[in-house]
Amino acid sequence: MTRLRRIAHLDMDAFFASVELQRLPQLQGLPVVIGGGKRRIDEMLRERHADLPLHEIPVDAFPRLKDYVGRGVITTATYPARQFGVGSAMGMMKAALLCPQAIVLPVDFEEIRKFSYAFKETIREIAPQVEDRGVDEVYIDFTDVPGGQREGGRVLARLIQKSIFERTGLTCSIGVAPNKLIAKMASEFNKPNGISIVYDDDLQAKIWPLAVRKINGIGPKAEAKLHALEIRTIGELAARPAEELIAQFGRAYGAWMHEAAWGRDERPVVTESEPVSMSRETTFERDLHAARDRAELSAIFTDLCERLAADLARKGYVGRTIGIKLRYDDFQIATRDMTIEHYTADAKTIRQAAGQCLKRVDLSRRLRLLGVRVGKLARAQDVADTSPRAETAAPAAPDTTSGSATALTLDLFPDTQDIPPAAPG
């Protein structure tokens, strides 16, 4: 019997929130959002309810979204919160207008990593061909796994769902299809805790009625342009000649759009891959200005560079392209980067190169976010074997000749007299 190619996309259901509910079962069934500032909730609750374990602390003791003040965004929300229009990447203050009664909790990254590892290991014990796509989603090649062909993959999907729930107490949604492109769409069909099976001949009935934005790779700008061309569904996209799409979107992207609309995707499930870049960024609690808040920005800048250097050293990578990312108070984004001569994972080197990039952006406007990135990565050991001059040291300690780590970065922001003052307001 011919074995059909069966690729699954597994997405954990409201993962960040679900992890919290494992520790705080009294919040089950309530609107809860995860995001915002630093994690001090546990400490605060323990101080006020020292005689109770976390899972017995009364619901009324938890902070509400209506009282949140800050610049954070929502990482995820429980399904009861989503019924009010609250969703991922939404600003917390905006969400507070939609669902003021929601309980708000910050992200517990240690718990997230623990549960992420657990559910992925559970999958690999059943189906070893797994492509990691982040903390809460993976692709799985079902094709040659026992049960991967039965009912189009439903039997194997049920086994994986059951095994993950038994090990973690968490649910997931799975889409199984001929390829990764359609599998990712299918995993959204029956959330939460659903399984969706799509075959080749289901394209017109199940995929073409969907909005073009459902294709992973079509973002808001491309969607707006497609709408201007009176293309709103995947079926309408498939009806347009490839030449027309190429003329509008360029040869590579236009051709890919045409193939995607017809459900064609030959990408394999990749079990091992090297990161292209690593980055660290932070959104400020209030807008900062390079002149008025120079010391604070410099301290944040130093911290980002040192944390990024620590990430590189811990994971065994070095890089040559160093860049920065700014988001202004009007949400416009500016990025700059430069490529240095030698590979590095050194905090001071990253700081100096990123500082040069800062000199190439407009610092007269208020800043909402600052980020630092290192790209063109290579394994530190590989570089050390071929290039003895590569800078592969661990993050450098503060340069004592400068007085402090912060002082090192003060020079990387232009002198205050070179920066126009912030506009009033």
What is the domain range of residue 254? Answer: 210-261
CA atoms of 58 and 368, how far apart (whole Å): 36
Amino acid letter, 203: L
Do 198 and 127 fall within a single domain? yes
In this predicted structure, what is the pLDDT of residue 402?
32
Do 184 and 231 fall within a single domain? no
| Domain closes at, from 108, 130, 154 | 108
Binned at pLDDT 50, 70 and 90, residue 39 comes out as: low
What digits encode the pLDDT tens for the residues 321-338? 999 999 998 888 999 999
Q: Residue 271: inside a domain, yes or no?
A: no
Do 368 and 296 fall within a single domain? yes
Do 192 and 219 fall within a single domain? no
What digits encode the pLDDT tens for the residues 166-200? 999 999 999 999 999 999 999 999 999 999 999 99
Do 167 and 230 fall within a single domain? no
Do 117 and 163 fall within a single domain? yes
Q: Residue 423: inside a domain, yes or no?
A: no
Binned at pLDDT 50, 70 and 90, residue 384 comes out as: low
pLDDT at 418 over 60: no
Q: Residue 1: inside a domain, yes or no?
A: no
How many domains does the structure of the chain reveal? 4
pLDDT at 409 over 70: no
Do 171 and 119 fall within a single domain? yes
What CATH number corresponds to the domain at position 82?
Answer: 3.40.1170.60
Binned at pLDDT 50, 70 and 90, residue 396 comes out as: very low
Do 234 and 340 fall within a single domain? no
Q: Residue 424: inside a domain, yes or no?
A: no
Do 290 and 393 fall within a single domain? yes
Q: Residue 23: inside a domain, yes or no?
A: yes
Between 271 and 9, the more confident residue is 9
Across all residues in the chain, what is the average pLDDT? 86
Do 284 and 390 fall within a single domain? yes
What digits encode the pLDDT tens for the residues 284-329? 878 899 888 999 999 999 999 999 999 999 889 999 999 999 999 8
What CATH number corresponds to the domain at position 226?
Answer: 1.10.150.20
Under a CB-based contact definition with an 8 Å cutoff, are residues 137 and 161 in contact?
A: no
**Overall pTM > 0.75:** no
Q: Residue 266: inside a domain, yes or no?
A: no
User: Known catalytic residues?
Assistant: 137
Do 300 and 409 fall within a single domain? yes
Do 327 and 369 fall within a single domain? yes
